[in-house]
Amino acid sequence: MHNIPKLFTVEVVAGQFGVHPETIRRAIRSGRMGCYRLGGCIRVSADQLAAYLEASLCSSRKQDLPTSAIPSFLYRKFRHENAGV
């Protein structure tokens, strides 16, 4: 059986990061953030958000933080609802 990821709307992602939904849409259109398009609706998975955050980390901070710190921070926020799926 396939593991289906929990998917989030653009509005939910924008609210979690404190940015306007159009900021998220621009990141998707430019190819910097992955997404799923389902029947004309855009959805983003926790894995796609983790990849986007890791790629967006400032180079000076990349030296200070282990790469595992970025996904674990993100997973605490977004995977909490996905527990047991």
What are 9-43's pLDDT values in tens digits? 999 999 998 999 999 999 999 999 999 999 999 99
Question: Domain containing 34 — which CATH number?
Answer: 1.10.1660
Task: Read off the pLDDT of each residue in 56-74 and give the average, rounded to a whole number.
Answer: 59
Q: Residue 1 domain-assigned?
A: no
- In this predicted structure, the answer to whether residue 85 has a pLDDT above a threshold of 50 is no
Residue recorded with tokens 């939910």: 12
Domain hosting residue 23, numbered range:
7-82
Per the structure, the count of domains in the chain is 1
User: How much is the pTM?
Assistant: 0.65
CA 2 to chain centre: 20
Q: Residue 2 domain-assigned?
A: no
- How far apart (Å, rounded) are the C-alpha atoms in residues 27 and 20? 12
CA angle in degrees (0–180, nearest 5) for 4-17-27: 75
